[in-house]
Amino acid sequence: MTDGCTVTDPLQATGGGPRHGCPVLPARGVFRPLGLADVSLDGGFWGGRQEVNATATLAHCEEWMERVGWLANFDRVAEGSTGPDRPGWPFSDSEVYKLVEALCWEVGRSGAPTAETAIRRLTARIARAQDPDGYLNTCFGHSSQPARYSDLEHGHELYNTGHLLQAAVARLRTTGADGLVEVARRAADHVCGTFGADGRNGICGHPEIEVGLVELGRALGVDRYVEQAALFLERRGHGTLREMPLGRAYFQDDVPIRQADTWRGHAVRALYLSAAAVDVATDRDDRDLLDAVQRQWRHAVARRTYLTGGMGSRHQDEGFGEDWELPPDRAYCETCAGVASIMVSWRLFLATGDPRYTDLVERTLYNVVATSPSSDGRAFFYANPLHQRTPAASTAGAGVSPRAETGTRSAWFEVSCCPTNVARTLASLAGYVATTDDGGLQIHQYAPATIRTRLPDGQRLAVRVETDYPASGGIHVHVTEGSGQPWTLSLRVPAWAAGARLVHDGRSTPVTPGMATLHRAFQIGDVITLELPVRPRLSRPDRRIDAVRGCVAVERGPEVLCVESHDLPAGDAIDSLEIDPFVPPRDVDGVVRVRGRLAAPAVPEQDWPYPAAVDIAPAAVDIAPAAAGWFEVPLRPYHSWARRGPSSMRVWLPATRSHADGHSS
Amino acid sequence: MTDGCTVTDPLQATGGGPRHGCPVLPARGVFRPLGLADVSLDGGFWGGRQEVNATATLAHCEEWMERVGWLANFDRVAEGSTGPDRPGWPFSDSEVYKLVEALCWEVGRSGAPTAETAIRRLTARIARAQDPDGYLNTCFGHSSQPARYSDLEHGHELYNTGHLLQAAVARLRTTGADGLVEVARRAADHVCGTFGADGRNGICGHPEIEVGLVELGRALGVDRYVEQAALFLERRGHGTLREMPLGRAYFQDDVPIRQADTWRGHAVRALYLSAAAVDVATDRDDRDLLDAVQRQWRHAVARRTYLTGGMGSRHQDEGFGEDWELPPDRAYCETCAGVASIMVSWRLFLATGDPRYTDLVERTLYNVVATSPSSDGRAFFYANPLHQRTPAASTAGAGVSPRAETGTRSAWFEVSCCPTNVARTLASLAGYVATTDDGGLQIHQYAPATIRTRLPDGQRLAVRVETDYPASGGIHVHVTEGSGQPWTLSLRVPAWAAGARLVHDGRSTPVTPGMATLHRAFQIGDVITLELPVRPRLSRPDRRIDAVRGCVAVERGPEVLCVESHDLPAGDAIDSLEIDPFVPPRDVDGVVRVRGRLAAPAVPEQDWPYPAAVDIAPAAVDIAPAAAGWFEVPLRPYHSWARRGPSSMRVWLPATRSHADGHSS
């Protein structure tokens, strides 16, 4: 067995060592990612969340998995005592693996001994459940269980294995080979033996094995795993799986990935599949495949993505809807789809260097990933709608909910994919912050951070990023180590940041969205400041997004803002709010305010909600203002919604002076 | 066993004879319905559809049920050859019963011998499957099947029985007691024996048994059946059923019906339950229960109902959403929910005399029930959205679809509740047209028709209605029989019909929405004309219906209109249409036209659909008109959409001069 992180030359040569700590480590690409070994987040918006994740969420997840019996499922297999009463869905094994993955990144991030102990504790239970031939699953293949791979459409066996492999990759890249890696290697070999080119023509109903195989293949230097992933990718889209009521688009088995024009069907499935496709395309230099995923990304981002970066418009199939079908109230925007979207975009960025991808990573981090967990890291949103009509019944902490879709974060779900997905993303977040190329260092996400690396010419360099972004827009990069040789510092300027400036040596120069670069012989002590204009701004929807016609939204820096009923004078009156889009939003001490008014309730209540337009006197066209008239409506970051208790909430705000009903105001 | 239709005195005395032919025959109420024995529809919009139903749909349904094995399920039970491979959902028995019900009404309507033969053929197969103790179900209780009533939540056993009882009621009220009625009586007795006051505290996950029991109790004069229905009603809402992932509101077991403020959960379930509640409330003079249903109707109609009268905003649970959650594109508006809404509204009307209920009946008939079947009566919509973004793949006639939700009517569905529901409604439609009270005749739905009845004073009267409504608005009531004694003719004036006039004896008088009445000693040959203004009109949504903000819809008489891509010059450009609401729609030879224009496609395509509002130059606010500029956009009745082949379609039309994005046009 090869050691940890043997990678191909370019990375090996430039700091990508065995313990590099990267969630993704492609064989080639425009930029080379820096991992947890190179980058640490020091407090701030994300560092604080990493601490909560480390001290609360990880243990919370393990406790719940013990409580609901998902961990004991492994013991039962080991003991030969499986029965028909197995708790959990068929995919509950994957939650254990995702937790182990999160723990591995946490060890890589902080070296926390409690995390290390938990990894060993969990690995021991997992390893005991592995069959002699490498097969590992607690739901199939043992006494009183369906046969192995008897329900590829919905059984999630390969999906579970994929997450096991990702956990092993995290272990390899942070600590090194151990028993977990050995379990994963044997499981991967079993998959290749069963589903290889000469084996069964099968794929999993839920993509994930592919992304696990590629990364394990990279981490162990085993090409066969990458080949198996490519095989799974190519088999898909030909009706390989049996038909299901929602149609084969649900699991992307309707059209081959090279031919598809957009993402469709179940959002997490579509995105995990695409992440693997980028991996395969990159390592094999397969432009056709890479182009296909880029085309799908462009289409879906332009027409099937929420302002928050959230993806998935439909509850029915947790899926993408049609173009422009983006209802804010019924937005599904599963937290896991946000995580998966980041996986795809980061891979596309590394392959292409196009900062549109890292823009979407940032948007999704702040408005989907950051939204899910509660402040204490012990409750989570599963769905992330942009409009909550009525405050949820307060059920926080009341135990297991089917899914947390109703405006209250829940401690645990029956389908509890999101907490561990958030945990592994937060623990590995430093891996998405910066890259290098032959000429220098690029920083893509802004947070207080320490970054140390070595350029290909052997030059060591280190910078310290100081900022309270996104509260304010000043990003200060202090050079703390360097040889005095020239190199290029590149800083992402988000697409929204028109008017940004780069300040260095007492000079301030305007920079445009994209990458701002500065090439010079930096000296220790140099400070380069990127000034991003995080003043609040109004955004409007494409006219084809019917569900939010006539509305505007307020954004501030990377954060989407929202109005919550907590901040309205009349209590729960979110439905009667209307704002004046002609008065720019104001930012006073970090609280953004817009000019708004509330409608007085109709008296008497209308008994039919579709009056004749012609009967409406002009005076009645606009909302009849309440006694209070215009007032300043405070907005809060969307990610903080429902933290002060159940609320009604909306991101898209109806704007005044709409003449849509046929009269002037 | 009592004979057919023995009812309590008031109706018995006034024309409600044994073969009265009413779908609903309450013990008391403000008005007494006239049935198929009294009213016939003579061609026109509805008479034509009744003919298609009689000559195509009824046989189509029987053929499909034979083909997919739902009829053979009865034979298997009779032969003792049931196995684990039973075709169809647990509720497929109900489709057979609904077909028999439709056939019974058809015999009552036309006396068609083919329908009579079919009833006998089907009855024989059904009767053979009944167990000796009266239990009758092809999915439970026999070899290789789950035990009787082992899955009340989802097994639909009592639901199926309810439809059997409704079929028997149709037989009793059109032909008389026969073997079918005997089978139903024994099944009803078995239900009462099992679930009576001293029996099991159970209810069915899908209400329907209640409405069947009440009507069978009325038709046979068996109070015990009405009592059992009341018992089922009262048991519900206390968590009587086991919890399910969508919550107990799904099957209305969350709140007792007397306490609920609105309809919620699965729409058809909620509405069937309410229909039964009105029946029980009426016969028992239970004001509290009647008030509860009226309250729920008022709330749901004001806040949870589509312009079409359609109900059910969510695909996920086929359910009502929250207040104001009325997306046009994802409108579920199941055809069966339309049928069920008519059942409730007609019952409430008979109980209260409030024409708001018959207004909704009309709206739902024209825009939901009439929309479902194809012109040839051999394909059906299951869902009735108000916006189709892309033309469906043409799969008409391609066989069984899971459900017909995708813009093409389907010949049959796996969940095929709608075709038979349409069939029984169309065959019995004459039973929803007119009523009497002590003083005269009331006409509620307008169609070419012959109406004969006898008033309580013994006076016989008959009228012939001549009209081509809704093509034009003249309703001409010819008195063809009468004693010369004074009586009152009442004609419903729909809420939309501001400006209506009543013309008689050369005089034209304005009448307001509600009931227009004329009391006099009518003479044979008198003609009374109601002139309804069916000119096209614009309607706008309540400002709280977010999904259609900034849009208007066009209605004409009882018909909701829509724009289809077939009628746009650029082919499929429904997304780029914008209309001018300041120019009134014109009606030229029956085709309504509005002034509209099409947006030119954005070049280059936007890569992010939420631009900064401030960056939009005023010239770019409004849609850039295409070369053709303004043109006249034809609209068609919504019920006719997709009849010319797959199309994109919208009812709600974005209106120009919206300043929602912050600039004047």
Closest-approach residue (CA) in chain A for B573: A544
- Is a pLDDT exceeding 60 seen at residue A154? yes
Q: State yes or no: pLDDT of B20 exceeds 90.
A: no
Q: In chain B, what percentage of residues exceed pLDDT 70?
A: 91
Residues B392-443 have pLDDT tens digits of 876 544 566 666 667 889 999 888 899 999 999 999 999 999 999 999 999 9
Spatial contact of B402 and A245, defined as CB atoms under 8 Å apart = yes
Q: Inform me whether the pLDDT recorded for B624 exceeds 60.
A: no
Listed in sequence order, the residues at least 6 apart from A593 whose beta carbon sits closer than 8 Å to its beta carbon are: A585, A586, A587, A632, A633, A634, A635
Q: Terminal CA-to-CA distance of chain A, rounded, Å?
A: 75
pLDDT recorded at residue B613 = 82
Give B305's DSSP letter. B
pLDDT of res. B10: 30
Residue-level pLDDT at A628: 59
A-B interface: how many C-beta pairs under 8 angstroms? 220
Q: Does the beta-carbon distance from A314 to B314 stay under 8 Å?
A: no
Measured between CB atoms, does B245 come within 8 Å of chain A? yes
Residues B658, A550: C-beta atoms closer than 8 Å: yes
A552 vs B contacts (CB less than 8 Å) = 613, 660-662
Residue B6, pLDDT score: 33
pLDDT at A14 over 60: no
HEC letters along A394-453: CCCCCCEECCCCCCCCECEECCCHHHHHHHHHHHCHHHHCEEEECCEEEECCCCCEEEEE
* Span B14-29, average pLDDT: 75
The nearest CA of chain B is from the CA of A303 a distance in Å of: 7
CB atoms B322 and A314 under 8 Å: no
Q: In chain A, what residues touch B612 (CB-CB under 8 Å)? A: 496, 498, 537-540
Instruction: Tally helices (H) and strands (E) across chain A.
Output: 15, 24
Q: Report whether pLDDT(B60) > 60.
A: yes
Q: What is the mean pLDDT of residues A111-140?
A: 98
Report the distance separating Cα A381 and Cα A401, nearest Å.
Answer: 11
Q: Note whether B470 contacts A: Cβ–Cβ < 8 A.
A: no
Q: Which of A330, A552, A609 sits opposite B302 (nearest CB)?
A: A609
Q: How many CB atoms lie within 10 A of CB A412?
A: 20
List the 254-293 stretch of A: residues with Cβ below 8 A of B: none
B660, A550: Cβ pair inside 8 Å?
Answer: yes
Candidates B638, B567, B189, B635; CA nearest to B385 is B638
Residue A617 has pLDDT above 90, yes or no: no
**Contact by Cβ (8 Å): B361, B433:** no
Q: Picking from A84-88, A494-498, B394-398, which range would have the lowest pLDDT averaged per residue?
A: B394-398
Contact B537 A495 (CB under 8 A): no
- Cβ of B323 under 8 Å from any chain A Cβ? yes
Any CB–CB contact under 8 A between A505 and chain B? no
Q: Tell whether A611 lies on the interface with B, counting CB pairs under 8 A.
A: yes
Nearest to A87 by CA among A74, A106, A104: A74
Q: pLDDT band for B388, please (50, 70, 90 cuts).
A: very high
> How much is the pLDDT for B394?
62
The model's pLDDT over B238-284, given as tens digits with 9 standing for 90+, comes to: 999 999 888 999 999 999 999 999 999 999 999 999 999 999 999 99
Q: Using CB atoms, which residue from B606, B609, B659 is nearest to A659?
A: B659
Q: Which of B301, B537, B662 sits opposite A612 (nearest CB)?
A: B537
- Structural contact between residues A398 and A407, judged by C-beta atoms closer than 8 angstroms: no
CA B444 to CA B442: how far, in whole Å? 6
pLDDT at A6 over 70: no
- Chain B residues within 8 A of A540 when measuring between CB atoms: 610-613, 616, 660-662
Q: How confident is the model at residue A619 (pLDDT cuts 50, 70, 90)?
A: very low
CA distances B113 to A544, B64, B120, B169, Å, are 54, 21, 11, 19
Q: ∠A396-A402-A407 over CA atoms, to 5°?
A: 45
Lowest mean pLDDT among A8-17, A301-310, A323-332, B198-207: A8-17
Query: What mean pLDDT do residues B434-456 have?
Result: 96
Among A179-183, A211-215, A315-319, B212-216, the least confident range: A315-319
Cβ–Cβ of B654/A599 closer than 8 Å? Answer: no
3-state secondary structure of A128: helix
How large is the average pLDDT for residues A165-169? Answer: 98
Cβ-defined contact of A546 to B387 (cutoff 8 Å):
yes
Residue B403: closest C-alpha in chain A: A245
Mean pLDDT, all residues of chain B: 91
B602 confidence band (pLDDT: 50, 70, 90): low
Of the candidates B302, B330, B606, the beta carbon closest to that of A542 is on: B606
Sorted by sequence, the CB contacts under 8 Å of residue B13 that are 6+ apart come out as: B456
C-alpha B197/C-alpha B95 separation (Å) is 29
Tell me how many degrees the CA angle B307-B313-B319 measures, rounded to the nearest 5.
130
Distances (CA, A) of A530 to A367, A590, B178, B602: 22, 19, 88, 33
A537 touches chain B (CB under 8 A): yes
pLDDT tens digits for range A577-603: 999 988 999 998 889 999 998 877 766
Q: pLDDT category, B81, cuts 50, 70, 90?
A: very high
Residues in A closer than 8 angstroms to B623, CB to CB, are 543
Is the Cβ–Cβ distance between A240 and A202 less than 8 Å? Answer: yes
Of B544, B547, B612, the CB nearest to A546: B547
- C-alpha span between B394 and B406 (Å, rounded): 10
Contact A661 B581 (CB under 8 A): yes
Strand partners of residue B637:
B561
So what's the pLDDT on residue A398? 54
How far from chain centre, in Å, is Cα A57? 17
HSE, side-chain direction, 13 A CA sphere, residue B572:
9
Rounded Cα gap, residues A334 and A311, in angstroms: 7
Chain B residues whose CB is inside 8 A of the A542 CB are: 606, 609-611
| Residue B303 in this model has a pLDDT that exceeds 90 | yes
Answer yes or no: is pLDDT of B348 > 80: yes
CA A627, distance to chain mean position in Å, is: 44
Q: pTM of the prediction?
A: 0.93
What average pLDDT score do residues B645-654 get? 94
Mean pLDDT of the B194-216 span:
98
Complex prediction ipTM: 0.90
Say what the pLDDT of residue A477 is: 98
Quote the pLDDT of residue A456.
82
**Is A387 in Cβ contact with B658 (below 8 Å)?**
no
Q: Is A315 on the interface with B (CB under 8 A)?
A: yes
A406 CB neighbours in chain B (<8 A) are none
Average pLDDT over residues B522-529: 97
What is the pLDDT at residue A396?
Answer: 47
Q: Which residue of B has its CA nearest to A247?
A: B402
For residues A367-379, give the mean pLDDT. Answer: 97
Mean pLDDT of B48-67: 98
Q: Which three-class secondary structure state does DSSP give residue B586?
A: strand
Q: Which residues of B touch A390 (CB under 8 A)?
A: 322-323
A298/B607 touch (CB, cutoff 8 Å), yes or no? yes
CB contact under 8 A, A552 and B612: no
B586-588 vs B631-637, strand pairing mode: unpaired
What's the pLDDT score for residue B405?
Answer: 65
The predicted structure's pLDDT at residue B575: 86
pLDDT above 90: residue A570 = no
Which positions in chain B touch A389 (Cβ < 8 Å)?
A: 322-325
Give me B162's structure tokens.
């309810």
Which pLDDT does position B403 carry in this prediction? 61
- A contact residues 414-443, partner B, Cβ 8 Å cutoff: 414
Q: Which residues of B touch A545 (CB under 8 A)?
A: 609
The pLDDT score that the predictor gives to residue B661 is 33
**Per-residue model confidence as pLDDT tens digits over B548-592:** 999 999 999 999 999 999 999 866 578 889 999 889 999 988 899
Written as six digits, the tokens of B208 are: 């329907």
Task: Give one word for A37, left, alpha or beta, with left for phi > 0 and alpha for psi -120 to 50.
Answer: alpha
B355 part of contact set with chain A, CB < 8 Å: no
Closest partner CB to A325 (pick from B329, B498, B614): B329
Across B195-215, average pLDDT? 98
pLDDT by residue (tens digit) across A296-320? 999 999 999 999 999 999 999 999 9
The pLDDT of B536-546, averaged and rounded, is: 94
Across A318-332, A609-623, B514-528, B574-588, least confident range:
A609-623
Token match 């260095």: residue? A504
pLDDT for B614 equals 62
**Chain B within 8 Å of A655 (Cβ-Cβ)?**
yes
CA separation for the pair A170, A379 (Å, rounded): 25
Distance CA A251, CA A266 (A): 6
Least confident of A7-11, A474-478, A563-567, B118-122: A7-11
